[in-house]
Amino acid sequence: VYARMDERWLEHEVLERSAAGDGQPRTIVKDVDFFDYQAGGNFGYSLVSPDGSTLLFRSHRSGWINYWIVPMAGGVPRPVAAEAANQSGARWSPDGKSILYQALWNGTQDLRIVAAGGGAPRVLAKPDGMGVISNAEWSPDGRQVSFTRETPTEAADLFVVNTAGGAPRRLTTSSTASHVASRLITPKKVSYKSPDGLTIQAYLYEPTLAPGSKAPGILFIHGGPTSSFNDTYQAQVQYLAMRGYAVLLPNIRGSSGYGKIFEDANNGCWGRCDLPDVTSGVEFLKTLPYIEPTRMGITGTSYGGCMSLAAAAFAPGVFQAAIAASGYGDWLHFHAEQELRHVKLVEYEFGDLPQAADKYRMSSPIFFMKEIQTPIMLIHGVGAQLPRSVASATFADRLEMNYKPFTYKTYPNENYYIRRRDNIQVMLGDMVAYFDQHLKDGIREPARAREGTR
């Protein structure tokens, strides 16, 4: 059994073929309108039941990513456990009578089991408060399930639970010493309204402040944009919050985990129609009594970097500092430069070129340089083996040509993204120095950086 995508990566079909390779493949089920940014990874591998009678597959057809089953002989699919949540990691039990899966609820992911014949799912394990349960597997006899659990302040550890019920048993301890873990900040889950009435869910990391003092705010934007912040450890955010910044992590429209309508709500208008979800986050922060309302920053990596550039161009004056990590400011250049996965993404989001060129251009901050007021720091990795992109360098050149304030810095032995531990340590110090300079009246500046508008 195997899956096949169309050329748009939007439709799938699951086919059966003889293991001997003879004869023609037979289509078991077709699935439509499920854009697969992971080149087949989101739809995933369809699973045949142990007795060979039933196929289990992942689908967006209900408006949420749920699991569905269909007879191998063909027929009408039915949901395994229809829920307003994204489901992942499904596994048939060894006897084929039950199905195990993980369900994501506003960033919290629990572990559920449901009878293969249908019925209400049963929660087998859930985080104590915040957390994400992943990597679930049955024991060979089907009596136990192992899984990992991670929280915003704990590394992922291995647990096991009896399928009949009871408390999970912890098998490993991966977190650091308790005196270190106790200093980590547990975020609050908050929500606020965007101007069109859409509810935006977010995580708020609150710093420890001296009595009477106030904190600058930072909007931290995730990549994707079809991704989301969940109940996991965020190293950069912890670093910023521990240094006196209130950091808000919004799951803006376009994020996954909140249904297909929400996920597609920024199609064709990146950096434009989802930007009010970001600026409304600024307004939310300003309602907090400990926030300095005139000191706001924005940062993020990949699409978070793209949004940081968009905020500077399309919401001038809202932010007093922006740090764009591995971001793009020109979607036409992105389409021309990038590898197939990213090309398929922007074609799905914006449309085919050249017909949709106006959409690409309208969402590209590089064509709106004159509007930028926010000081911008551009950072990305470079490496001899995989240079990958000149996007940030090109944006820096355009900023300099337009006499806009900016800082530009690269980190060695990387591709476009910054992954190495030694570079990350330097980068975090550079980021705090830049935010301190512009949001705290600091005087430190990132080392070895190219400064614009000297």
Q: If pLDDT is split at 50, 70 and 90, which confidence band does 5 have? A: very high
* Percentage of the chain exceeding pLDDT 90: 88
- Per-residue pLDDT for 115 more than 50? yes
Residue that is last in its domain, among 50, 79, 108: 79
- Per-residue pLDDT for 101 more than 70? yes
Among 281-285, 334-338, 368-372, 375-379, the range scoring the smallest mean pLDDT is: 334-338
Answer with the residue of higher pLDDT: 220 or 23: 220
**One domain for residues 42 and 124:** no
Q: If pLDDT is split at 50, 70 and 90, which confidence band does 180 have? A: confident
Residue 180 lies in a domain: no
User: What is the per-residue pLDDT for 444?
Assistant: 46
**One domain for residues 28 and 136:** no
Which long-range contacts does 197-200 make (Cβ < 8 Å, 24+ apart)?
198/253, 198/262, 198/265, 198/277, 200/250, 200/251, 200/252, 200/253, 200/277, 200/280, 200/281
**One domain for residues 216 and 273:** yes
**One domain for residues 45 and 104:** no
**One domain for residues 157 and 239:** no
Residue 215 lies in a domain: yes
Identify the DSSP state of 412. Answer: S
Q: How many separate domains does the chain show?
A: 3
**One domain for residues 383 and 262:** yes
Residue 294 lies in a domain: yes
8-21, pLDDT tens digit by residue? 999 999 999 999 98
**One domain for residues 156 and 299:** no
Q: Residue 112: beta bridge partners?
A: 101, 123
303-314 vs 275-286: helix crossing angle, rounded to 10: 80
| Distance in angstroms (rounded) separating the CA atoms of residues 55 and 123 | 23
Residue that is last in its domain, among 175, 201, 231: 175
DSSP run (H or E) holding 236: helix 235-241
**One domain for residues 323 and 400:** yes
- The arithmetic mean of pLDDT across residues 389-396, rounded, is 91
**One domain for residues 211 and 140:** no
- Per-residue pLDDT for 182 more than 90? no
- Per-residue pLDDT for 158 more than 80? yes
CB 412 within 8 A of CB 383: yes
* C-alpha 232 chain-centroid distance: 11
User: What is the per-residue pLDDT for 139?
Assistant: 98
| Distance in angstroms (rounded) separating the CA atoms of residues 194 and 192 | 7
- The arithmetic mean of pLDDT across residues 424-429, rounded, is 96
* Percentage of the chain exceeding pLDDT 70: 95
CATH number for the domain including 299? 3.40.50.1820
162-174, pLDDT tens digit by residue? 999 899 999 999 8
User: What is the per-residue pLDDT for 4?
Assistant: 95
**One domain for residues 135 and 16:** no
User: What is the per-residue pLDDT for 442?
Assistant: 62
Q: Regarding beta strands 144-151 and 132-138, do their DSSP bridges make them parallel or antiparallel, or are they unpaired?
A: antiparallel
CB 59 within 8 A of CB 363: no
Q: How is residue 173 written in tokens?
A: 């301890």
| Distance in angstroms (rounded) separating the CA atoms of residues 264 and 34 | 11
DSSP run (H or E) holding 324: strand 321-325
214-252, pLDDT tens digit by residue? 999 999 999 999 999 999 999 999 999 999 999 999 999
Residue 365 lies in a domain: yes
Residue 222 lies in a domain: yes
User: What is the per-residue pLDDT for 454?
Assistant: 31
Domain coverage including residue 56: 1-79
Q: How is residue 390 written in tokens?
A: 């000149």
| Distance in angstroms (rounded) separating the CA atoms of residues 163 and 161 | 6
User: What is the per-residue pLDDT for 9?
Assistant: 96
Residue that is last in its domain, among 175, 194, 220: 175
- The arithmetic mean of pLDDT across residues 108-118, rounded, is 95
Q: Which amino acid is at 292?
A: E
- Per-residue pLDDT for 448 more than 60? no
**One domain for residues 279 and 387:** yes
Answer with the residue of higher pLDDT: 443 or 46: 46
User: What is the per-residue pLDDT for 175?
Assistant: 76
Residue 28 lies in a domain: yes
Enumerate residues 6+ apart whose C-beta is below 8 A from 392: 324, 326, 327, 378, 379, 380, 408, 410
Residue 230 lies in a domain: yes
**One domain for residues 119 and 169:** yes
Measured on CA atoms in the order 163, 168, 169, 175, is the torsion positive or negative?
Answer: positive
CA distances from 85 to 81, 118, 133, 170, 266 (A): 10, 18, 14, 26, 20
DSSP run (H or E) holding 237: helix 235-241
User: What is the per-residue pLDDT for 443?
Assistant: 45
User: What is the per-residue pLDDT for 388?
Assistant: 61
Measured on CA atoms in the order 345, 351, 355, 361, is the torsion positive or negative?
Answer: negative
User: What is the per-residue pLDDT for 452?
Assistant: 53
